[in-house]
Structure 1
């Protein structure tokens, strides 16, 4: 197992792997069959590609962020992604990875600003997207694809046998790369505004990977098999990939987001990363399958959900342990089997995970390790541990080793440590705004208890004030109400208004069976959201939750929407966060309708 060293660089994971080589270090499906790349094969390809890049003229230039050559990468997760990253690192150049679903205009802006010289792209669709803007990017000299495509240069053309002298030259170059050198620029796809280029050093990511790796120390070496399906260009998945590479895991990549289910059964991983939205989808499927049961099986299923709802990390009575064991044998074991049968932990990040989901999955023997961080912090600031004593529901865990946090007077979380970025690329003004005296201003509101467990209460910019002068933090309201099976997505609105309202996207997977059970005929979604019986049902849900909040936070009005918010339709960022501004603009008519008669309401309903 790797141990932290002050001068460690990301590509030093290769030396660690060489001590305990694996036959299946990186794995992906090719033409429907799993193909494994051994440690030696991966290392050979890394060296070959690095030397090919040097021959192409890619270098660290004068060593500054601006002077280093930039290599672009647009691809879903696959072995070639990691191999390219490791190769670029050893040349001293900087990798600029982008989301595959980034639009052409944004890709053009990023490639021009970063002055990318060479691109690696996975498939035809992405190749055509970049080709359409290629003439607008003067720095771009070549594009290579991972897939074999007609009339396209393939990356394997760069993988040639190397000589001892070439290997020594590469070693001499990589030896000069320091821990404080920039290794990547990750452009954040924020909820508002133009993407910012976050510069991260080897030290930033390595320190995060080493400290986060401690969280997984209890997983036996022989069980270290990870499954990956999130975008690797996001720092969350990339950093976790380097935990795997430093700590002796094999990585298996999903074919696509649509094949996660069957792939995970084949791979039988012990760990994978996910965003809360994925967990919500998994649980919705569990509930949908449960509702198909009848008689005693249905009763057992519903009983098991209640048992999971009462799961507690801090001590359980002998009676609870007994009935939990029965539920585990009859129900929970089947959930684990659906996830391959061996999953011990799911690391969750990017956005808040509903507490109820954490509790239920953990009760089922699938430990949820929720963490918190930002791209600017490489990303982890805190994370719940596999050890139950270092894990608490409703928090994002204890602070990571060597990471400091303090809470500002206005409640904002400030962070300092080896994980904090040196700044934004070509944007010193914005850097100065968020980095002050070494403290990074996260923009999130939170609380830190005496045991250094961190709790996120809201996003600073998302808190709004009603016309009555009262503040409303939407995130806790949304997260709590989304625990209900019938609420898929929700956004609280009400800035400058007399009361808080909500836009609600139903969980149609649960709503449709409910309609059948209540003898409501089949109808289009556009008709369902206007049906008085369905509206009354959602009204009762909100009325059940409202007493848990202060009067100003209670939802007075709501609109049910027919369409789910997605990345493709623009309401969500690539990491699943709501683009509140875009949603507000898109549903402006619906929002205005909720407040159309507010002049007739009580002058100040906040009181």
Structure 2
């Protein structure tokens, strides 16, 4: 048996057990960093650290506090909060109590929050602040099982009755531990592999979301499998901003416990640019939208610097892509990432002019980024690879505990999601659907046996709903969601995500694009533009001082986008080309339910909201 197999097969029953082992092994090592606002309210945030031992004290106090409130093993404790240090400590506390975390996005509205709390039978809610508390209080009559609400940030909250602060919960827990010092050790020791650890509700595009049941063994496997990849080590510093209510963010916390590296935690997306040079991470996970925004921002800044600067950027971007493609091709053939001398010389010049500044913006220490949750446009991936920001695409679903595939370090291949994690099996069905089997696969959908049976076979194979191809040496390429493939009225199949990704690499002003064409005789697109980049462009094109919606509606803006559509179409097959498009009066957002909290497009929602624009584009045309 290999060392990797031994590491995975000898995993403990839970991440809670892994956490106790981690604390015992490295109690004084730094575990977490988190921002603290200055007392004056002025200036940049400072950062505080917690060692594994200090984190353990708080985790044990939270766990004991929940037990003192009457929480029993496998009972659900809901967590409605943005990404912050308290989210991680609370989640670990819930698991160490033997209970299960129900994750709730802070952006979830009152109606859906109430549904999740009721459907999950959550006994306690840990709410971030007064706003999250109010959502639950407004529906208290519908939540007879909810006995207590614990508030992390008490500003504007009147504790009392069944509402208490996190600080008070920890005080009660510490007092309970004085009387029962072995309590947490006993609770963790009693956890079985198949015991429920997490209930994550998928953000449904139609109907109510489904609760995905992930037992303790899923996370213990993920922790060990991530460690076995060798992509991260104990000396790494991770910057964690992803929503922890999402499976992608959650799996990173398990991986950290397994490896023991430092994690800097701050979920405020608007602080990423400010935080990176301070944290100086070696490792960061993100979703494609973040890389698209950085790319568009760099391109827009170069354009704003004048024609000469923009020309240099365009040249450097082309060199970066050529360099990355050549290096990856050569590595595949020979095991070394060498490139032709002339290309290397161009790359060195471009590095001094452009790439080094991009690396500094990421903190200067970044060894690798992991991208997941949606497809990254290959041309954007190649750009960053050539600039020295190595983006390792991965793949997984909520139902597979997030990390089923990841690109293997130096041998990564842009445009693929890499190879399966050790212990995960994959096969491609006759219709191209990706099927997965392994210790990361869910137990099923909560209270929905019929829905579970639709996707999970008796022998453990899970139907992902994604279409893909495996290379002879095991690299997976995702081509599209099975349900998102477009079949035109002419019988041609189109993968909209592929066309959308290519447009994002061509147009530096795009924020979101949705390609439409199912059962139609040509393809159209709904496009929203990135406001900061667009408004900079507007200053140079006679539109300064106008509102975003006015800029979008201006003929010169439509003409600018039309030019980029022409560039896109020149590289597409005839049936893939975009014949008409409409610019949206505002960007798509989470609040309107058009994108998920992990910034993934909800196609049916957008198509319903802008049906009038889609109809307008096809008006007067003959549909076959």
Which residues of 2 match residues 124-139 of structure 1 at below 5 A? 124-139=130-145
The aligned residue for residue 281 of structure 2 is 269
Are residues 555 and 251 of structure 1, via their aligned partners in 2, closer, same or farther at CA, if it must alter by over 3 Å?
A: same
Q: Secondary structure at the match of 1:392?
A: coil
Are residues 331 and 373 of structure 1, via their aligned partners in 2, closer, same or farther at CA, if it must alter by over 3 Å?
A: same
Are 1:397 and 2:418 counterparts?
A: yes
The aligned residue for residue 409 of structure 1 is 430
Which residues of 2 match residues 312-461 of structure 1 at below 5 A? 312=325, 313-315=328-330, 316-386=339-409, 388-389=410-411, 391-436=412-457, 437-461=459-483
Question: Could you tell me how far 1:523 is from its partner in structure 2?
Answer: 4.1
Are residues 71 and 221 of structure 1, via their aligned partners in 2, closer, same or farther at CA, if it must alter by over 3 Å?
A: closer
Aligned residue among 268, 271, 285 for 1:259 = 271
The aligned residue for residue 156 of structure 1 is 167
Question: Could you tell me how far 1:355 is from its partner in structure 2?
Answer: 1.0
The aligned residue for residue 583 of structure 1 is 606
Q: Secondary structure at the match of 2:30?
A: coil
Residue by residue, what CA displacement relative to the aligned partner does 1:393-422 show, whole Å, maximum 9, x if unpaired?
111111211111111111111111111111
Matched residues in 1 for 2:533 and 2:196: separation? 48
Q: Secondary structure at the match of 1:230?
A: coil
Q: Secondary structure at the match of 2:108?
A: coil
Residue by residue, what CA displacement relative to the aligned partner does 1:172-231 show, whole Å, maximum 9, x if unpaired?
23212122221111111133331110001122122223223334x255643x11111111
Matched residues in 2 for 1:163 and 1:440: separation? 42
Are residues 463 and 302 of structure 1, via their aligned partners in 2, closer, same or farther at CA, if it must alter by over 3 Å?
A: closer
Tell me, yes or no, if the aligned pair for 2:299 and 2:313 is still in contact at 8 Å. Answer: no
The aligned residue for residue 536 of structure 1 is 559
Matched residues in 1 for 2:250 and 2:571: separation? 38
Structure 2 residue ranges without an equivalent (≥5): 39-45, 331-338
My pick for the range that moved more, 317-326 or 336-345, is 317-326
Which residues of 2 match residues 195-206 of structure 1 at below 5 A? 195-206=209-220
Tell me, yes or no, if the aligned pair for 1:371 and 1:383 is still in contact at 8 Å. Answer: yes
Residue by residue, what CA displacement relative to the aligned partner does 1:336-372 show, whole Å, maximum 9, x if unpaired?
2112221211111111111122111122221101111
Tell me, yes or no, if the aligned pair for 1:255 and 1:263 is still in contact at 8 Å. Answer: no
Tell me, yes or no, if the aligned pair for 1:47 and 1:167 is still in contact at 8 Å. Answer: no
Structure 1 residue ranges without an equivalent (≥5): 61-67
Aligned residue among 84, 87, 110 for 2:90 = 84
Aligned residue among 152, 156, 160 for 1:146 = 152
Are residues 507 and 50 of structure 1, via their aligned partners in 2, closer, same or farther at CA, if it must alter by over 3 Å?
A: closer
Question: Could you tell me how far 1:129 is from its partner in structure 2?
Answer: 1.9
Question: Could you tell me how far 1:377 is from its partner in structure 2?
Answer: 0.3
Matched residues in 1 for 2:501 and 2:231: separation? 30
Which residues of 2 match residues 224-239 of structure 1 at below 5 A? 224-239=236-251
Are 1:50 and 2:50 counterparts?
A: no
Question: Could you tell me how far 1:503 is from its partner in structure 2?
Answer: 0.8
The aligned residue for residue 185 of structure 1 is 199
Matched residues in 1 for 2:30 and 2:290: separation? 26
The aligned residue for residue 63 of structure 1 is none
Matched residues in 2 for 1:483 and 1:355: separation? 8
The aligned residue for residue 481 of structure 1 is 503
Aligned residue among 15, 33, 42 for 1:10 = 15
Tell me, yes or no, if the aligned pair for 1:29 and 1:255 is still in contact at 8 Å. Answer: no
Matched residues in 2 for 1:164 and 1:515: separation? 64
Q: Secondary structure at the match of 1:167?
A: coil
Question: Could you tell me how far 1:430 is from its partner in structure 2?
Answer: 0.2
Aligned residues between the structures: 590
Matched residues in 2 for 1:255 and 1:408: separation? 38
Which residues of 2 match residues 13-92 of structure 1 at below 5 A? 13-32=19-38, 33-60=46-73, 68-92=74-98
Question: Could you tell me how far 1:318 is from its partner in structure 2?
Answer: 2.4
The aligned residue for residue 43 of structure 2 is none
Tell me, yes or no, if the aligned pair for 1:481 and 1:542 is still in contact at 8 Å. Answer: yes
Question: Could you tell me how far 1:452 is from its partner in structure 2?
Answer: 0.8
Question: Could you tell me how far 1:102 is from its partner in structure 2?
Answer: 0.6
Question: Could you tell me how far 1:510 is from its partner in structure 2?
Answer: 4.1
Matched residues in 2 for 1:406 and 1:218: separation? 24
Are 1:209 and 2:223 counterparts?
A: yes
The aligned residue for residue 335 of structure 2 is none
The aligned residue for residue 255 of structure 2 is 243
The aligned residue for residue 65 of structure 1 is none
My pick for the range that moved more, 38-47 or 544-553, is 544-553
Question: Could you tell me how far 1:289 is from its partner in structure 2?
Answer: 2.4
The aligned residue for residue 109 of structure 2 is 103
Question: Could you tell me how far 1:478 is from its partner in structure 2?
Answer: 1.1
Tell me, yes or no, if the aligned pair for 1:273 and 1:347 is still in contact at 8 Å. Answer: yes
My pick for the range that moved more, 109-118 or 157-166, is 157-166
Tell me, yes or no, if the aligned pair for 2:223 and 2:257 is still in contact at 8 Å. Answer: no
My pick for the range that moved more, 137-146 or 484-493, is 484-493
Matched residues in 2 for 1:244 and 1:352: separation? 24
Are 1:167 and 2:181 counterparts?
A: yes
Residue by residue, what CA displacement relative to the aligned partner does 1:220-251 show, whole Å, maximum 9, x if unpaired?
643x1111111112111111122112112111
Q: Secondary structure at the match of 1:144?
A: strand
Question: Could you tell me how far 1:526 is from its partner in structure 2?
Answer: 3.5
Matched residues in 2 for 1:407 and 1:106: separation? 35
Tell me, yes or no, if the aligned pair for 2:113 and 2:135 is still in contact at 8 Å. Answer: no
Question: Could you tell me how far 1:294 is from its partner in structure 2?
Answer: 4.7
TM-score of the aligned structures, taking structure 2 as reference length: 0.89
* Aligned alpha-carbon RMSD (Å): 2.3
Question: Could you tell me how far 1:118 is from its partner in structure 2?
Answer: 0.8
Runs of 4+ in 1 over 6 A off after TM superposition: none
My pick for the range that moved more, 252-261 or 266-275, is 252-261
Tell me, yes or no, if the aligned pair for 1:7 and 1:178 is still in contact at 8 Å. Answer: no
Aligned residue among 319, 324, 328 for 1:307 = 319
Q: Secondary structure at the match of 1:576?
A: coil
Matched residues in 1 for 2:489 and 2:566: separation? 23
Are 1:94 and 2:100 counterparts?
A: yes
